[in-house]
Amino acid sequence: MPENNDQDIRIGVFICHCGSNIAGYLDMEALSDYAQTLPNVTFVQRNLYSCSEGGINEIKKGIKEQNLNRVVVASCTPRTHEPLFRSSCEEAGLNPYLFEMVNIRDQCSWVHMREQEDGTAKAKDLIRMGIAKAALLEPQESIMSEVCARALVIGGGIAGMTASTALARRGYEVVLVEKEENLGGMLNHLNKLGPTMTDAGDLMEEKIQEIVQHAKITVFTQSRVTAVQGFIGKFEADIETQSGVKKIDIGVILMATGGRAFVPEGLYGYDGQRVITQLEMEQLLKNGLNSDIKNVVMIQCVGSRNQERPYCSRICCQIAVKNAILIKDQIPDATISILYRDMQMYGVENEEMFRDSKAKGVRYIHYDPARSPQTESDQVRVYHSLLGREMALPADLVVLSTPIVAPEDADVTSQLLRVPVDENGFFLEGHVKLKPLDFATDGVFLCGSARFPANIREVIAQGLGAASRASIPMSKGSVVVEPIISVLADEDACRGCGLCVALCPYGALEIRHTEKGRKVHVIDVACKGCGVCAATCYQHALTINSYTDQQLEAQIDAFLIED
């Protein structure tokens, strides 16, 4: 590989039009002309779409024909396209880490749409800085680690059971841990599942039988995961069971802890008898309703879409409509009124169920949260915002639709696995679109209502999806990790103070005793290259590959250059 001196460095700059996303707002000709004047740049080319097959082939062609040993692509976000461009460089014979990406779409054209001159000037700055850093890039080698072909699934509800059977059918060992006495999760408390009106108990028994009869699945009930150490492929978990703590080696972890129904203590006169929740309504329907019940009022958004819980639980409306239909089936002459703020009935079949409920005589009354319904001993008063008057609705039974909330021990689990939760306590995926079933921590996956309230079909789909994601590293037998990680660049400077170990969010650092005393050791497979350790090391002993002090200083110096 060439040394870092001006004679050997040959940088190719590829500037992407991104259709009109960039070219519609920046002066592309000015950018390419400017790039040609910068140090170490030997080739500049503009592409309509650099990420297209044609654009990728142009990059490969440029590397080979121009003998390039550094590549800079000025286009969109590295988050989505950097892996593609790196692999293209590798296919052309160039080390993929001799590549630098400059984001002139998100940071220039999109935010300066009406300022072409200033946006173009900013793009020039970013390209100049990217080229300055590229000149100091060093080749890196990917890190490979073996993967244990055993999965840990935390949570024995429908999501966890679905994921477990999916993995077991692929031939992988599965350890399923459930804190309750029985598997099934919330299915144990449900009657029918809309919109198909499938019996929840039948579905649960079918899933449980699949679990207990499969030789590849080991089930621990009334058990908890109390400790997890390691990294993708080589986790070690402690499971506290009734017979003691069991230690197991696993390769991947699936989080399927589910959610729980909010109990509306102190709201609308809730007493669990005349004023109940939809979850308690499920049990009444399962046991058979008292025929004396003639008037039922359901109140939506109880305990949600407020200051304390601002989110919509999404599935409450579907449950209310389904239960209203089932009440009508048991007591055809019952009068059912649903007091709502907005009806969330997404999906063709849910909309059809909504229409069916109206055909059966279920009434829907819109209310304003500023004038919320008032429950009394035998009726519910509500201001009908469309009619512009208050109504008194007879009520033998009041049913409150409450949200699904995060598990009580979500914070404990979050710290245990070093995975984040959002402002509502639900577990936070790596990326809502790109990684909806992955955590940012490699090897840990997510499904079901632990992520956010979901109906039965969504939960099953997520369970299958998480199993599919988790099976990828196990099927390969090894994982390749990017080498852009923390490294101990100056062992003598390290004082072994442990500050970096305490701050690392991924548990990728540890203190070891060496011949030179206490020194930090980087667990390369676990490191994500976030830079927290390098930024806080007062001895400057740690650095990040491809983000060294010298490279960052070169970018700063390049920015400060006045044209």
User: In terms of domains, do 268 and 400 share one?
Assistant: yes
* Domain CATH for 208: 3.50.50.60
User: In terms of domains, do 134 and 12 share one?
Assistant: yes
The encoded tokens of residue 385 equal 């915002």
* Residue ending a domain, choose from 362, 382, 404: 404
User: In terms of domains, do 466 and 503 share one?
Assistant: no
On the 0-12 / 13-18 / 19+ scale of CB atoms within 10 A, 421 is middle
User: In terms of domains, do 7 and 134 share one?
Assistant: yes
What is residue 479's DSSP assignment?
E
Q: What is the rounded CA–CA span in Å between residue 561 and residue 563?
A: 6
* Residue ending a domain, choose from 140, 163, 178: 140
Contact partners, residue 286, CB within 8 Å, separation at least 6: 191
Scored b (16 or more CB within 10 A) or e, 34-60 reads bbeebebbbbbbbbeebbeeebbebbb
User: In terms of domains, do 383 and 452 share one?
Assistant: no
Q: Is residue 563 part of a domain?
A: no
The encoded tokens of residue 177 equal 């841990």
Query: Angle at the Cα of 455 (from 454 to 458), degrees rounded to 5?
Result: 75
Q: Is residue 319 part of a domain?
A: yes
Scored b (16 or more CB within 10 A) or e, 203-231 reads bbeebbebbeebebbbbbeebbbeebebb
Q: How far apart, in Å, do the first and last CA atoms of the chain sit?
A: 32
Sequence-separated contacts (24+) of 377-380 with Cβ below 8 Å: 380/297, 380/299, 380/337, 380/339
In which region does residue 339 sit, left (phi positive, over 0), alpha (psi from -120 to 50) or beta (all else)? Answer: beta
**What's the pLDDT tens digit per position in 148-188?**
999 999 999 999 999 999 999 999 999 999 999 999 999 99
User: In terms of domains, do 202 and 294 share one?
Assistant: no
Provide the pLDDT for residue 563.
58
The SS3 of residue 384 is: strand
Q: What is the rounded CA–CA span in Å between residue 539 and residue 139?
A: 26
* Residue ending a domain, choose from 404, 425, 440: 404
Provide the pLDDT for residue 80.
84
Characterize the bridge pairing of strands 192-193 and 198-199.
antiparallel
Q: Is residue 498 part of a domain?
A: yes
Provide the pLDDT for residue 1.
35
What is residue 107's DSSP assignment?
I
User: In terms of domains, do 453 and 463 share one?
Assistant: yes
Structural domains in the chain (count):
4
Q: Residue 94: name the closest of 57, 124, 67 by CA.
A: 67
**What's the pLDDT tens digit per position in 43-74?**
999 999 999 999 999 999 999 999 999 999 99
Cβ 258 vs Cβ 186: under 8 Å: yes
Neighbours of 195 (CB within 10 A): 23
Q: Is residue 523 part of a domain?
A: yes
| pTM (predicted TM-score) | 0.81
Query: Could you tell me the residue range of the domain that residue 289 belongs to?
Result: 261-404
Q: Is residue 557 part of a domain?
A: no
User: In terms of domains, do 268 and 239 share one?
Assistant: no
Provide the pLDDT for residue 540.
93
Q: Is residue 553 part of a domain?
A: no
* Domain CATH for 21: 3.40.50
The encoded tokens of residue 451 equal 């992520």
Q: Is residue 272 part of a domain?
A: yes
Provide the pLDDT confidence category of residue 7 given band limits of 50, 70 and 90.
Answer: low
Q: What is the rounded CA–CA span in Å between residue 81 and residue 63?
A: 18
Provide the pLDDT confidence category of residue 122 given band limits of 50, 70 and 90.
Answer: very high
The encoded tokens of residue 365 equal 């009354």
Provide the pLDDT for residue 485.
94
User: In terms of domains, do 314 and 383 share one?
Assistant: yes
Q: What is the rounded CA–CA span in Å between residue 516 and residue 522?
A: 16
Q: Is residue 124 part of a domain?
A: yes
User: In terms of domains, do 17 and 116 share one?
Assistant: yes
* Domain CATH for 536: 3.30.70.20
User: In terms of domains, do 296 and 399 share one?
Assistant: yes
User: In terms of domains, do 280 and 355 share one?
Assistant: yes
Q: What is the rounded CA–CA span in Å between residue 112 and residue 120?
A: 9
Q: What is the rounded CA–CA span in Å between residue 420 and residue 423?
A: 10
Q: Residue 209: name the closest of 241, 173, 165 by CA.
A: 165
Quick check: bond before 403 cis, omega within 30? Answer: no
Provide the pLDDT confidence category of residue 433 given band limits of 50, 70 and 90.
Answer: confident
